[in-house]
């Protein structure tokens, strides 16, 4: 369990690559620095892709959880 209260939740369940990443970027772009996005995906590739996206864009992946075929990511906008 990740101990953080998200400012916003985005559910991208059912979307295939590359849409979860594209929509994550759009959601983060619309948020303020310091805020946390909770992103939900059903694409197993997201586990690797969200980390790669965070590495490249310089945003912070606080952590992720998996349950019942859902992947939940907590991303902090740091810039």
Partner 1 sequence: MPEETSKRLAIIALHGTMDLAYPPFILATAAAALDMEVAIFFTFYGLEILKKGKIDKLKVPPIANPAMPVPMPNILGMLPGMTSMATMMMNKWMKKAKVSKLSELLAMAKEMNVRLIACQMTMDVMGIKKEDLIDGLEFGGAATFLEFASHNAVTLTF
Binding site for partner 1 (CB under 8 A): 14-19, 21-22, 24-25, 49, 52-53, 56-57
Helix (H, G, I), strand (E, B) or coil at 28: helix
- Nearer to partner 1 (CB atom), residue 50 or residue 72: 50
Residue 77: CB atoms within 10 A of its CB come to: 20
- Nearer to partner 1 (CB atom), residue 9 or residue 55: 55
Q: Tokens 């906008």 belong to which residue?
A: 77
The least distance separating partner 1 from the CB of residue 55, rounded to whole angstroms, comes to 9
Q: What is the DSSP letter of 78?
A: -
The least distance separating partner 1 from the CB of residue 28, rounded to whole angstroms, comes to 10
Examine the residue annotation and report whether 17 is marked as an active-site residue of this protein.
yes
Alpha-carbon span 60 to 68, nearest angstrom? 25
Choice among 16, 17, 22, 52 that is catalytic: 17
Q: Which of 39, 22, 21, 23 is nearest to 76 (CA)?
A: 39
The least distance separating partner 1 from the CB of residue 50, rounded to whole angstroms, comes to 11
């Amino acid at each position: 369990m990740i101990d953080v209260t998200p400012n916003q939740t985005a559910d991208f369940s059912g979307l295939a690559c590359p849409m979860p990443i594209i929509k994550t970027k759009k959601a983060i772009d619309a948020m303020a620095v310091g805020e946390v996005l909770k992103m939900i995906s059903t694409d197993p590739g997201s586990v690797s892709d969200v980390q790669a996206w965070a590495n490249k864009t310089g945003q912070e992946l606080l952590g992720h959880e998996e349950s019942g075929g859902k992947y939940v990511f907590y991303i902090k906008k740091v810039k």
